[in-house]
């Protein structure tokens, strides 16, 4: 596939197809609707299936069924739609089913608006549904990464038999950028645990229910071990001009692009500012943030929310250095000048 100028939402679907996904079940909601629209166009062209369910609840349960059959399957929605899917997501996590869920966050709470926010962080990163489970969460900041991280999401979902989320804000989903598409993956190996509706299923069961407390405890502890492996092996982040920085800015998604421009502009003024961009929100780059405490004077987290990721940053810093927060809400995206002003105030107040 040649380089294409497309929206991030469309890049998601093309990346999914290149990763071997052939099933999409969803329900349209702005600003994620183009994902369902693109799936409706492209899935049938590769022999796949697109089905618009009657609701978000129905769509996630269709994903559960397809994932039980061992196929690569995905769905997508936006903030209130993700809320409706949460029970099914918990069922999928409990049944150890690999799937990919794309969340294009919008303003909230309630119906809110269709402008970009990052207030789904708690809902997605902290579990959102019932029970002691975790989702792998990837945070792209470009149309290219919407493709690349969707492909990575399928890989990680299969590797750990766990749902994986691509969490982007409405800005990243709607912006158009050039995307270079990689070659499609070769045929995927059979999953020995999957259901095939034949004799192989005699001793196989896909379920999240365990009525005996001790058996359920054993299962949930097994899940916790898996999450610990993710934390050890799958942490991803990006650093920019960290060396000799007196203050490090932390942000993800569209905010990270703004922060990179802020870092460049302030370096031109002789002000030592660095950037750490979390790519995996779970597992979170806590260890690296802890390490930076030995050389960095302070941190500033910038979020399009009431301050949600900042809690994980503060846990990582553990009181060793100040952690400041600057936020905008309701879909308001700050300008680089606005962020620079806040950084300067923080430095001067030290």
- Hey, how many other C-beta atoms are within 10 angstroms of the C-beta on 41? 12
Cα–Cα distance between 196 and 172 in angstroms, integer? 38
φ, ψ dihedrals at 220, nearest 5°: -65, -35
Residue 139 gets which letter from DSSP? -
> Looking at residue 11, what is its pLDDT?
98
Pick the CATH number of 238-349 from 1.10.10.10, 3.40.50.920, 3.30.930.10, 3.40.50.150: 3.40.50.920
How big is the CA angle at 291 (ends 348 and 235), to the nearest 5 degrees?
A: 115
- Is it true that 4-233 and 238-349 share their CATH fold? yes
Closest CA to 23 of 67, 56, 57: 67
3-state secondary structure string across 55-72 = CHHHHHHHHHHHHHCCCC
8 Å CB contact between 155 and 19 = yes
Q: What is the pTM of this model?
A: 0.97
How big is the CA angle at 259 (ends 257 and 260), to the nearest 5 degrees?
A: 65
Residue-averaged pLDDT of the chain = 96
Q: What is the pLDDT of residues 327-336, one digit of tens each?
A: 999 999 999 9
pLDDT band per the 50, 70, 90 thresholds, residue 94: very high
pLDDT band per the 50, 70, 90 thresholds, residue 178: very high
Beta-carbon contacts of residue 121 (< 8 Å; ≥ 6 apart): 167, 281, 303, 305, 308, 309
Q: What is the pLDDT of residues 218-240, one digit of tens each?
A: 999 999 999 999 999 999 999 99
The answer, yes or no, to whether residue 47 has pLDDT greater than 90, is yes
Closest CA to 90 of 132, 149, 56, 59: 132
Bridge partners, residue 103, by sequence: 77, 167
Pick the CATH number of 4-233 from 3.40.50.970, 1.10.760.10, 3.40.50.300, 3.40.50.880: 3.40.50.970
> Looking at residue 187, what is its pLDDT?
85
The answer, yes or no, to whether residue 84 has pLDDT greater than 90, is yes
Closest CA to 76 of 43, 50, 104: 104
In the chain, domain spans: 4-233, 238-349
- 202-224 core/surface letters (b: 16 or more CB in 10 A; e: else): eeeebebeeeeeeeeeeeeeebe
> Looking at residue 349, what is its pLDDT?
86
State both tokens at 95: 């049944």
Q: What is the pLDDT of residues 121-146, one digit of tens each?
A: 999 999 889 999 999 999 999 999 99
Cα–Cα distance between 77 and 269 in angstroms, integer? 42
How big is the CA angle at 63 (ends 62 and 69), to the nearest 5 degrees?
A: 100
Look at the block and give the residue holding tokens 């999401």: 153
- 236-267 core/surface letters (b: 16 or more CB in 10 A; e: else): ebeebbbeebebbbbbbbbbbbbbbebbeebe
């Amino acid at each position: 596939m040649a380089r294409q100028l497309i929206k991030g939402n469309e890049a998601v679907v093309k990346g999914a197809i290149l990763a071997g996904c052939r099933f999409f079940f969803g329900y349209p909601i702005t600003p994620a609707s183009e994902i369902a629209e693109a799936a409706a166009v492209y899935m049938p062209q590769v022999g796949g299936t697109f089905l618009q369910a009657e609701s978000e609840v129905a769509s996630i349960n269709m994903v559960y069924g397809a994932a039980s059959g061992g196929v690569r399957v995905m769905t997508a929605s936006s903030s209130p739609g993700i809320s409706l899917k949460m029970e099914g997501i918990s069922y999928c996590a409990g049944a150890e089913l690999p799937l990919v869920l794309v969340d294009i966050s919008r303003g909230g709470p309630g119906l809110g608006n269709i402008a970009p926010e990052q207030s789904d962080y708690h809902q997605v990163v902290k579990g959102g549904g019932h029970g002691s489970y975790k989702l792998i969460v990837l945070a792209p900041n470009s149309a290219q990464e919407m493709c690349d991280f969707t492909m990575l999401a399928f890989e990680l979902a299969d590797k750990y038999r766990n749902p994986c989320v691509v969490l982007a804000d409405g800005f990243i989903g709607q912006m158009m950028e050039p995307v270079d598409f990689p070659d499609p993956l070769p045929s995927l190996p059979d999953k020995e645990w999957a259901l095939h509706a034949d004799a192989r299923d005699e001793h196989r069961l896909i379920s999240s229910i365990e009525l005996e407390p001790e058996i359920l405890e054993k299962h949930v502890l097994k899940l916790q071990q898996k999450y610990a492996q993710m934390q050890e092996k799958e942490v991803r982040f990006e650093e920019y001009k960290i060396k000799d920085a007196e203050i490090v800015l932390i942000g993800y998604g569209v905010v990270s692009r703004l922060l990179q421009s802020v870092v460049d502009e302030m370096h031109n003024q002789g002000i030592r500012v660095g950037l750490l961009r979390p790519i995996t929100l779970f597992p979170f780059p806590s260890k690296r943030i802890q390490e930076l405490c030995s050389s960095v004077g302070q941190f500033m987290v910038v979020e399009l929310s009431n301050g949600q990721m900042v809690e994980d940053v503060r846990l990582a810093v553990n009181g060793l250095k100040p952690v400041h927060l600057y936020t905008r809400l309701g879909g308001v995206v700050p300008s680089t000048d606005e962020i620079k002003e806040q950084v300067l105030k923080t430095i001067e107040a030290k």
